[in-house]
Every structure is written in structure tokens, then in C-alpha cells.
Amino acid sequence: MIGIIDYLAGNLTSVARALSYLGYKCFISSDIKKLKKAERIIFPGVGAAKSAIESLKKFGLDEFLKESFLNGIPIFGICLGTQIIFDFSEEDGGTQTLGLIKGKVVKFPQPLVWMDEKLKVPHMGWNKVNWIKPHPVFEGLDPDYEYYFVHSYFGIPENKDVICGITFYGINFVSAIAYKNLVAVQFHPEKSGKPGLQILKQFCEWKP
């Protein structure tokens, strides 16, 4: 059974629908007692870091996530759920986040220009991922696949060895990471069609 963490950050039902389509049982909850029964955890989200951290603390989910990580439970962060696993986010004037991965979250530079064209921020749309390090969750993905992004911020890990994927949007930024029993992506696999479903399936079968 897969637990999807509900911390009032949205985009939960689309993740649940994708898992159900793949044939995996899942539930959405902010109840720690229920989530502790899950065999693996998905940490999605859309929104701002500060309000997300406040919601996590309100439900005690911040400590639950730290405990789950230390206990080796497979965890998958998506979009905002990826940004919150770092130490610190520049968003909202600066927000201390979970610290599961050493590093910080920064905003795309302004203006963001490529080939004399000013690029829009938030970054919204389909982009490729350059897979630079093998990992079971990201195995067998066609390099020409594109994934759906919606974000203004991205993480910069201190330890470059955790980086699995890089995406270019005016600049190169980290779009996929893996560390111990934790994997995380800046894009939305649940909205990325066949390759996104492949990633979710491989996470559900992954044994860290």
C-alpha cells in the first residue's frame, strides 16, 4: 500500500489516479497513524514552501517524513515535495525546510534569457531530462522523452553525487535526484504520460 501525503498542497488526486491506473493500491491522508502503515510514501505538492512547511508541522508530518527517511521507507518527492526535502528555500523571503538532502532551493534568475529570447517564469511545459546517473527508478527511459514542469524554483544539492537528471531551461537545473531510500523529481510524472507512468511504476517496485 502506498501513502500519498496530504499537506494541503494540492495535486493529490492526479497522483492517486496514476497509481490506480498502474494497478497499485494507495490512499491520501494527513493522518500519521494511517501513513505509518504504508509500505512507501509519495510526497507531492503544488504551491509555496512556507505554507507547505506550516501545514506539515501542523499535522506533525515534518517529523514523520524525517522518521520515515531514517527508517528506510521508500519516499518519492514530486515538484514542491522535491524542493521541501532540502535544507532551505529562498521562496517567501527564506524558509527552513526538512533537510533530508543538504542544499538549497533557488529561483530562476531574472531576467532568464536564452538566444536573445526572454523566457517565462514560472517554467511551464514539456522538457527533456538528461539522465546523468543510473538509478532503478529512472531505468530504461528514452532520452527523447519529455516531462511536464510547472515551477519557479529548483534545488541545488551540496553533494553532486545525488543528481540523476538535469534539464535545460535557459540554464541547466537539477530535475531528478536520488539519495538512499529517497528519490525526487522537479517535474510531474503523474502528468507526463507514458514516461511518467514508467517512473511511478518503477518507484512502486523499487527496493532500496
Residue range 44-74, pLDDT digits in tens = 988 888 888 999 999 999 999 999 999 999 9
- What is the model's pLDDT at position 40? 97
Task: Please give the C-alpha separations between residue 82 and each of 52, 85, 99, 127, 187, in angstroms, as whole numbers.
Answer: 12, 6, 11, 17, 9
Which residues carry out catalysis?
Answer: 79, 188, 190
Taking the CB of residue 22, how many other CB atoms lie within 10 A of it?
14
C-alpha cell of 83? 524542493
- Give the burial string for 141-171 (b: 16+ CB within 10 Å, else e): beeebbbbbbbebbbebeeeebbbbbbebbe
Higher pLDDT, residue 197 or 52:
197
Q: Taking the domain 2-205, which CATH number applies?
A: 3.40.50.880
C-alpha cell of 65? 517524513
Q: Does the pLDDT at position 166 exceed 90?
A: yes
pLDDT in tens, 81-123: 999 999 999 988 899 999 999 999 999 999 999 999 999 999 9
Look up the pTM and report it: 0.95
